[in-house]
Amino acid sequence: MIELTGISRATYYRFDPEAVAAVKDVELRDAVQRVALKYPAYGRPRITAELKRRGWQVNHKRVGRILREDNLLCIRKRKFQTTTDSTHNHRIYKNLTREFVPTRPNQLWVADITYIRLAEEFVYLAVVLDAHSRLVIGWALERTLEAKVAIDALRMAFDKRGAPAGLIHHSDRGVQYACGEYTQLLKDHRVQISMSRKGNPYDNAKAESFMKTLKHEEVHRVEYDDLADARRGIRKFLELTYNRKRLHSALGYLPSAEFDKIALIEKVPA
């Protein structure tokens, strides 16, 4: 158009403010991409700092948005942090789920704990899922790996779902799930306790699969500033994205909340 009209690019942009903004955004996106490709180990803070060194006036949120939109977030190899301590003297319960396939909600809950690395510390996320719909019904995020984080997640699950008759709770045999306070809470609600066999992660496959999804689709794509920022991000992913929007192939490509709602409605007699 500029060549056809015989005017300069600068003249055109002076009379089209929206075009100027659009070009600036394109130029910034190009600059972000160049830095990300040149320094593949850089995350949002370092890329922002590099852009400022090159004369750009930009904040880390805008850079983070561009990185997310262009799928350029650095996914770093994280330092491994174990969360399962099965060397304890608490009772280990039999695995009740090896031949059990839930056919409706509130038959089987599965629980697990994982770590999330922040800039200068590890924090720990405990979740409780309904195994039928993969719906996250309880979660807690804390700095400590003590039993409290698992107990808080379980209490949230009870608050949301109650304690239906015949419910089985399955977990690994870590101390957080085997300790007296946690198992007593389950017994108080008349829940059957089930634990994985030693050294067999497949016994808790649904929970393990969820944790991989969480890491791949949320945690490894975001750099949380601190614990409060992590809680906000995790809450949004669990309660809005994962539960209500993410499509599950095992559920006929329905979100967990929708699949769970249909199953609960079908359970109610006409």
Residues 69-125: pLDDT tens digits?
766 665 554 544 555 555 667 899 999 998 888 999 999 999 999 999 888 888 999
Q: Which tens digits make up the pLDDT trace of 51-64?
A: 888 888 888 888 88
20: confidence class by pLDDT, cuts 50, 70, 90: very low
- For residue 74, what pLDDT is reported? 57
- Strands (DSSP E) contained in the chain are 108-117, 122-130, 135-142, 168-171, 192-195
Domain boundaries for CATH 3.30.420.10 within the chain:
108-267
- For residue 52, what pLDDT is reported? 87
Q: What are the tokens at 229?
A: 């920022």
Give the closest residue to 209 by CA, choosing from 117, 112, 140, 139: 112
Give the closest residue to 151 by CA, choosing from 194, 181, 121: 181
Residue bearing the bigger pLDDT, 248 or 160: 160
Into which CATH architecture does domain 108-267 fall?
A: 2-Layer Sandwich (3.30)
CA distance 111 to 113: 7
pLDDT at residue 189 greater than cutoff 70: yes
Q: How far is CA 253 from CA 72, 118, 155, 245, in A?
A: 27, 32, 29, 10
Mean pLDDT, residues 183-194 taken together: 97
21: confidence class by pLDDT, cuts 50, 70, 90: very low
* Global model pTM greater than 0.75: no
